[in-house]
């Protein structure tokens, strides 16, 4: 069952594009990636609300785009041990179009916003007050389509997708590892599953152990660049 998702669809996608704007990330590197928005309202989880089981579990209610300096609007993965020692699957997909640049390229990344942490005397990761932090995100790219050429097909667009399997190793481990398959315009980007980047210090007992965001990076700056996000969903396997 899904445990968290953006309220987007093929009929009501989240959209990014246009000219590139350079912004420094948390490591001081220049980035031009554009972050998709949960544009139809609050994120809804099927897991019970930790304070009142009779009402939906709402998180990240801001209908705003995450950025290099703020993760407001990120897709928060619910905790309270719901993912402790469990496999998760993240499904991400959409289309991209480009009208004016026949040599245009694009890359789609799934990034995790990982927490800071402390290590207890018993070698367990302690709950962090900065889990899935909105104000000082610590992004790690865990899956990517890589850079691909955009075919000049503005009517149909180029479909792209990421199917990511993640295993949360539990409280004593603090590691989240896995593999993924990427597809762009009908072709597998990696013909066999590729390993995801390892997330460190994830505490599954936290209310929200980590957050996820999706970003598009266009190789050239052009007003006709348009990328669509039709699905962004996390499910327990």
List per-residue pLDDT tens for the chain, 237 residues long.
888 999 999 999 999 998 888 887 777 788 889 999 997 654 444 444 444 444 334 444 446 789 998 888 899 898 888 888 899 999 999 999 887 776 789 999 999 988 655 444 444 444 444 455 566 788 889 999 999 999 876 567 899 999 999 999 866 777 899 999 999 998 999 777 899 888 877 888 887 888 999 999 999 888 888 999 999 999 999
Q: CA–CA separation, 216 vs 219, rounded Å? A: 10
84 three-state secondary structure = coil
Could you tell me if 5 and 17 are in contact, meaning their C-beta atoms sit under 8 angstroms apart?
Answer: no
Q: Around 37, how many Cα atoms within 13 Å sit in the side-chain half-sphere?
A: 13
Could you tell me if 32 and 103 are in contact, meaning their C-beta atoms sit under 8 angstroms apart?
Answer: no
Range of the domain at 154: 2-236
What pLDDT score was predicted for residue 157? 85
Could you tell me if 86 and 168 are in contact, meaning their C-beta atoms sit under 8 angstroms apart?
Answer: yes
What pLDDT score was predicted for residue 202? 81
Q: CA–CA separation, 196 vs 179, rounded Å? A: 5
The 10s digit of each residue's pLDDT in 110-156 is: 999 886 554 444 444 444 444 555 667 888 899 999 999 998 765 67
Could you tell me if 168 and 83 are in contact, meaning their C-beta atoms sit under 8 angstroms apart?
Answer: yes
- In sequence order, the β-bridge partners of residue 110 are 143, 214
Cα–Cα separations (whole angstroms), residue 125 to 73, 151, 209: 26, 46, 11
Residue among 175, 113, 178, 106 at smallest CA distance from 146: 106
Number of domains in the chain: 1
Q: How many CB atoms lie within 10 A of CB 40?
A: 14
For residue 178 the two structure tokens come to: 């896995």
What pLDDT score was predicted for residue 134? 62
Q: CA–CA separation, 202 vs 84, rounded Å? A: 10
- In sequence order, the β-bridge partners of residue 159 are 95
pTM of the model: 0.84
CA 166 to centroid of chain Cα atoms = 13
């Amino acid at each position: 069952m899904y445990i968290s998702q953006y309220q987007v669809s093929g009929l009501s996608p989240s959209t990014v594009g246009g000219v590139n704007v350079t912004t420094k990330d948390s490591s001081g590197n220049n980035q031009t990636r554009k972050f998709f928005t949960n544009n139809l309202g609050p994120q809804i989880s099927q897991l019970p609300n930790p304070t009142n089981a009779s009402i939906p579990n709402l998180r990240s209610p801001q209908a705003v785009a995450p950025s290099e300096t703020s993760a407001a609007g990120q897709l928060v993965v619910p905790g309270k041990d719901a993912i402790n020692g469990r496999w998760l699957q993240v499904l991400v997909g959409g289309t991209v179009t480009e009208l004016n640049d026949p040599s245009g390229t694009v890359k789609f990344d799934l990034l995790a916003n990982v927490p800071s942490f402390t290590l207890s005397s018993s070698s367990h990761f302690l709950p962090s007050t900065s889990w899935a932090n909105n104000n000082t995100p610590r992004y790690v790219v865990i899956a990517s389509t890589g850079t691909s050429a955009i075919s000049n097909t503005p009517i149909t667009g180029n479909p792209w997708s990421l199917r990511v399997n993640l295993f949360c190793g539990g409280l004593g481990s603090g590691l989240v590892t896995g593999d993924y398959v990427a597809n762009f315009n009908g072709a597998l980007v990696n013909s066999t599953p590729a390993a995801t980047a390892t997330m460190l210090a994830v505490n599954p007992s936290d209310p929200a152990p980590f957050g996820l965001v999706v970003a598009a990076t266009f190789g050239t700056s052009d007003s006709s660049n348009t990328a669509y996000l039709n699905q962004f969903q996390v499910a327990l396997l």
